[in-house]
Amino acid sequence: MIVNVIGAGLAGSEVAYNLGKRGIRVRLFEMRPKKMTEVHKTGYFAELVCSNSLKSEDITNAEGLLKAEMKLMGSITLEAAEKARVPSGKALAVDRNIFAKEVTEAIESLESVEVIREEVTEFDPEEGLWVVATGPATSDGLFSFLRNLLGDDFLFFFDAVSPIVTFESIDMEHAFWGDRFGKGKDYINCPLTDGEYEELWKALVEAEVIEMEDFDRKLLFERCQPIEEIARSGKDALRYGPLRPTGLVDPRTGKEPYAVVQLRREDKEGRFYSLVGFQTRLKWNEQKRVLRKIPCLRNAEIVRYGVMHRNVYINSPKLLDIFFRLKKQPNIFFAGQITGVEGYMESAASGIYVAYNVYRILKGLSPLKLPEETMMGALFSYIIEKVEGDLKPMYANFGLLPPLKTRVKDKFGKRKKLAERAIEAMRKFLEEYPW
C-alpha cells in the first residue's frame, strides 16, 4: 500500500522519512516552490518559517526532553539539525538553509519515496491511506475541501488564545472559587482592589505588542479584541468588560471586588487554567510582566502564552482518535500543527508518532499510545483526551506530565526526575515495541 503524505513541512518530512527508510512506499505532495504559502520562502522541505532556534537540548527543559525522546524514536529533524548546528549556548540553533536542504536531500534520496511538487486540493477519502500535514498555512483549496469533509465547526482559522497557567502556581490565598451569582464553583476568581486594577491597566496600556499584517488585523479584530486594545479604549473599559466583578462575591469580604480576573479550567484533571478574555498580542516577556500585577498570579507558571495569529487547525479532541486518525475515517491521519500541537519540535514529534503507527498498521499490528510519562505521550494525550471545550494549540511543558509519586520541592530537581522517568519509559516502550 502507498501512504500519501500531504505537506513536506516539519511533520510531513518526519512521516515520509521514517516510513520511507523502512521501505514503505510513500507519495509525498509538496506544493512549494510552485505555489508558496504566506510564510515560506524556499522550495525546501522542513523550512523553518521564523526563528532558527529549535530551543533547548537540556532535558530539564520541556523542549530538551522532547528532543531526547524524538532521538530515541528516530528523527530526521534532529539528524539534519546536528549537521546544520550553529553555536547557541544550551539551545539547538541551525543554519536554516543547510538544515532544510539536509532534510530535503535525505528524503529525496530514499527510493521508496516519490516526491510530487503539486498542491493537493482534494482527494478521495474512501481510497488509500492519507496523512494531512499541511500546517498552519494550509492552502485555500485544501482548506475548503477539509471544511466540507470535517464540517465548519471543526476547522479553526484563527488562533486567539489567552495565557494558560498551572493550577499549582496560582496563589489561592489571593483567590476564591465561584461562578457569577453563586451558580457554581467552576471558576477561580482573582480579585483586584482599585489600586491593583490601576496598576494592571497601566501595565497593559504600556506593554509592547507584536505587530501583525493588516489583513490579519482586520479579520482578527472583527472576531475578538485583544485585552490591551480594550484597555486602551479607557481606564474603566476592563472592569465593565472582561474584568467585571458582577455577581462575584469574595467570601473573605462578603462584597463584590473592584474588578476580577477569572480563570477557567482547561483540562479534565484541572491542572491548567486560562485567563478569561485575556487574548492578547503582547510580547511574551511583557505578558509575564503584566500577569505579575495580578495578586494571585504573582508566581504563576505560564505554560502557554497568549497569541493571536492566522493558524489553521482542526478540533482534534472531537475529530481524531488517540492515534491522530479521523474517528469517522481511520484511513486519514493528521500530523503537525494542524492537529493543535504548536512549535517546530512538537510538529515534528507528531509526525514521528503518526509514522510509527502507520508503520505498525501496515505490518498488521495494532497502533499504540505512547506512555503518558513521556513528553510526547503526555502532549498527544492532552490534545486528544484531556482538553475541555475547544482545543487551543499546546506546546511541550512539564505541567502535562503526570505528577511524581514522591514530592520533590525544588523545581529543577523535580524536572530532572520527571525527565529521567520519561526517558526510561520511552526506552522501555521501544524495547518492547520496536520499529
Binding-site residues from annotation for FAD: 7-12
> Smallest distance from the beta carbon of 286 to ligand FAD, in angstroms?
17
Using CB under 6 A, pick the residue from 4, 19, 26, 40 that binds ligand FAD. 40
Q: Closest by alpha carbon to 332, among 80, 119, 171, 146?
A: 146
- 29 in contact with ligand FAD (CB under 6 A): yes
Does the CA dihedral 374-379-384-389 come out positive or negative? Answer: positive
Which amino acids are annotated as binding site, given as ranges? 7-12
Looking at 36-44, 206-214, 231-239, 259-267, which segment touches ligand FAD (CB under 6 A)? 36-44
**Residues in 128-167 that interact with ligand FAD by CB under 6 A:** 133-139, 141-142
Q: What is the DSSP letter of 43?
A: S
Q: Are 330 and 304 in contact (CB under 8 A)?
A: no
Among 279, 337, 357, 381, binds ligand FAD (CB under 6 A): 337
Residue of the chain from 3, 5, 6, 24 that contacts ligand FAD (CB under 6 A): 6
Which one of 344, 353, 359, 398 is in contact with ligand FAD (CB under 6 A)? 344
Q: Which three cell numbers stand for residue 293?
A: 500585577
Shorter beta-carbon distance to ligand FAD: residue 106 or 248: 106
Q: Do residues 322 and 380 lie in contact, with contact meaning Cβ atoms separated by under 8 Å?
A: yes
Residues 42-61, interacting with ligand FAD (CB under 6 A): 49-51
Site track for ligand FAD across 92-131, x = CB under 6 A: ---------------------------xx-----------
Nearest-CB residue for ligand FAD = 9
C-alpha distances out from residue 64 to 91, 166, 305, Å: 9, 20, 19
Which phi and psi angles does 339 have, rounded to 5°?
-85, -10
Q: Is 336 in the site for ligand FAD (CB under 6 A)?
A: yes
Which residues within the stretch 269-328 sit at the binding site for ligand FAD (CB under 6 A)? Answer: none
Of the two residues 313 and 359, which places its CB atom closer to ligand FAD in the complex?
Answer: 313
Q: Tell the smallest beta-carbon distance from residue 216 to ligand FAD (Å).
A: 10
Does 30 bind ligand FAD (CB under 6 A)? Our answer is: yes
DSSP code string of 365-416: PPP-PPPTTSHHHHHHHIIIIIB-SS---B---GGGSPPPSS---SHHHHHH
Residue 15 identity (one-letter amino acid): V
Which residues are within 8 A (CB) of 204 and not within 5 positions of it... i.e. 6 or more apart? 227, 228, 231, 238, 282, 290
Residue 64 near ligand FAD by CB under 6 A: no
Smallest distance from the beta carbon of 350 to ligand FAD, in angstroms? 8
Cβ–Cβ under 8 Å, residues 394 and 36: no
Q: State which residue, 29 or 353, has the beta carbon closest to ligand FAD.
A: 29
Q: Is 340 among the residues that bind ligand FAD (CB under 6 A)?
A: no
- Non-local (6+) Cβ contacts of 206 within 8 A are none
Contact positions with ligand FAD (CB under 6 A) in 220-259? none
Interface size with ligand FAD, residues (CB under 6 A): 35
* Among 76, 56, 70, CA closest to 426: 70
361 within 8 A of 131, measured Cβ to Cβ: no
Part of the chain binding ligand FAD (CB under 6 A), chosen from 25-33, 122-130, 259-267, 359-367? 25-33
Task: Out of 3, 4, 9, 373, name the contact with ligand FAD by CB under 6 A.
Answer: 9
By CB atoms closer than 10 A (0-12, 13-18, 19+), residue 136 is buried
Q: Is 170 in the site for ligand FAD (CB under 6 A)?
A: no
Give the separation between CA 263 and CA 261, rounded to whole angstroms.
7
Work out whether the CA dihedral 296, 302, 303, 309 comes out positive or negative.
positive
Instruction: Say whether residue 393 binds ligand FAD (CB under 6 A).
Output: no
- The distance of closest approach from Cβ of residue 346 to ligand FAD in the complex, given in angstroms and rounded to an integer, is 7
Backbone angles phi and psi of 261, in degrees to 5: -100, 120
Tell me which residues touch ligand FAD (CB under 6 A).
6-12, 29-32, 37, 39-40, 49-51, 119-120, 133-139, 141-142, 336-338, 342-344, 347
